[in-house]
Chain A
Amino acid sequence: MITKNAETILSVQGLSASINGAQILKGLDITVKAGEIHAIMGPNGSGKSTFSKVVAGHPSYSVDEGTLDFKGKNLTDLEPDERAKLGIFLGFQYPVEVPGVTNGSFLRLAYNTVQGARGKDELDPLEFDDFIQSKLNLLGMDASFLERSLNDGFSGGEKKRNEILQMAILEPTLAILDETDSGLDIDALRVVANGVNTLHGDSDAVVLVTHYQRLLNYIEPDFIHVVDGGRVIKTGDKSLAHELESRGYEWILEENSSSVS
């Protein structure tokens, strides 16, 4: 929802970033305000996933130029865990598997660490059990999820649900969901979208990184950005997604290249 005078949550200007010397982002601009949902779309290799990793602070990427501010605070020198404590959340495209670490203990540690950083009370295991039950219900997950090893042997849909579960308990100010819709069947997509819609409010923002318009049928974005060659080449409202679905990316790429030359 777009509201006037909303606080700017993420301000990205002229952001250039590289990995192993290869420049992926080349002057990317995006401003995200509280209450808004943004969708970032674009062809393969356009820099969408890189953008989400750079915001979360992945150590392989280095920021070469531009600004990356979260609520007016410069992020570039902060470690990923410090960014998480500030309220940035990245929903992984490929959540990693960690055998032997139970999902429940991982979630509790993450929750208590972030709560502690926000000056709130930590929960003991029993209190946490009660707290997480309501979140599990929201996503139609069974309590047996907590006993299993973190993402180990999870199906694609279960992994993505688990990402949204983490989003639900960490209550981030900025949630970036990197291709959360890929590998989901329609039912799972609906559950995940419903979860995101329920969690999203006036004081936080969501950025969806996606290939397909399908997800946007369930989560309505306020803005859509088309990224190519590491830059935003077009920004529009949700009607842009429909146009992309029917016409592909080609016309925007051409429009863009002709306007440059």
Chain B
Amino acid sequence: MDLSTLDRFTLNNLLVIMLRIRLFEEALFRAFMTEKMPGTMHQTTGQEAIAAGISQVLQSGDVMTSTHRGHGHAIAKGVSLNQMMAEMYARTTGVSAGMGGSMHMFDLDRGFLGTTGVVGAGLPIAVGAALALKLDGKANIAVAFFGEGAANQGAVHEALNMAAVWKLPVLFVCENNHYAVSTGFERSFAIERVAERAPGYGMPGLTVDGNDVLAVYTAADQAVTRARNGEGPYFLECITYRHKGHSRFEPASYRSKDELETWLKKDPIERYKQLLASEGIFSDEELQGIGEKVRDEIQQALEYAHHSPLVEAGPALALAFRKPVGER
């Protein structure tokens, strides 16, 4: 790829976002190992290029729905690391005031319509958000992330069809990491690529190397241009691999060592850093500096979380409903 067509600012952002995601989750993993971090998490380690690549084609006012493996999406959408970390620690300063945890992070101010604990559930919601954007006459789009496992959910089928019928501005991003918990791709699909289904809905589908952040970025750029022009939704499948198990300490013993080794060599961050260095975009010192800066951000987020108060039951009891205006 010819890097000269890309500005240094974007190239930098792609790296910074991938590093934030990687280091944020590494900090979480340590916290689960060494402290009593509550709840659970699903690491996106190895898949960071997808969220990062998409993030650089988004504009203010665009919205996003995420998955159970959603820290990366939230970070890519600009949700505060401090607030995300506080949420993981169940603190009142969390992005969902400590009421959601890893799988229920919402930040409407930043157009982040939530991680979700139900696989595939984000897609119909993204369709509704895109309908709202269209009715408002905005040129904004909705991005819906989902895994290849989710692609077999009925709600996903319904959402893809509805978006296509109504020509809604949705970018559907399928993160194909080959495994739905333990069940491998070939045991759930009778086709080679999930994107093969897209034409059946009447929308274009493209499969790209999801570990190549520039490939994701370039493909996403085309896809969103189409959506912003009112030409309807787009299906982008990104082939990737999760380095870790499904959740927390799940050992992923259903995968061969060879397979894992092969994919570790395709680590999207290392690949991108090597490219940036070999093309002379950033020097080794500059790359190191970027890493240090992100490390500081994560450290700061940990301190922010630790210094925030724990949530209490009292306020939760009043949160099932929003109080209507004028009601006491």
A and B associate: no
